[in-house]
Amino acid sequence: MPAVDVLDGRAVRLTQGDYERVDDVGDPFELVRRAAAASPPLIHVVALAAARDGGISIGLAEAVVEVSAPVPVQLGGGVRSPADVSALMDAGVARIVVGTAAFGELPLAQLADAGEICVAVDVADGVVRTAGWRASSGLTVTEALDRCADAGVQHVVCTAIARDGTREGPDLALLLAARAGYDGELLAAGGIRDAGDVEAVRELGLEGVVVGRAWLEGTLQLEMGVTPILGSAAHVRTRKAPPSRHNVGGRSVREA
């Protein structure tokens, strides 16, 4: 599953989630189009400023959905309430990534009931991080996954923060522990380099990988890396993309 992270209107890659270590990788909408041409099951998009500060971006969501069609979008960043989940679903997003709100005071089941969600279990030093990875949830991986299971969450993406953006290989020990503690669809993120890493993740019994630098820098071809693990988008309830717009929120679609 190709990832496109967006910050200040540009596609970027962070290293280990550090907002001070930012590489500009181009126009996010061009990258989404390029990713969609490989027909992955989903395109994973994160609004980084929203993830850090809160507040969803409907304009970005609508624009990404439009340029990715017919490939569905999994989008995260800033989701803090069931209303946010519903609004993004209405914007055409197929699956909403929820991190911070999943481990706060709001019952996770309320978010799960609002639409198709994927919970982000982002891990550093054995603890799940939130608020753009700047805050600690105080939960271990096991505790976080238990919360997901209890709420009926069907999709989780588990990120090894120390590996993210490094292309040093996935944290197989973390992923093995996550697989042992969660029976739903589990995606791996952080450190994926090539098809060999994809195969290693598959052998642990995970259903997919999210890749950033590897596909952007060409060490993993999307056609080779995504299809063997996620054969279809059968797990995703899709909605029709919103009608094409020349203007979103007073700005052109490409500026949304």
Catalytic residues: 5, 113
Integer Cα distance of 254 and 238 in angstroms = 23
**What are the distances in angstroms from CA 48 to CA 9, 18, 133, 164?**
10, 11, 10, 14
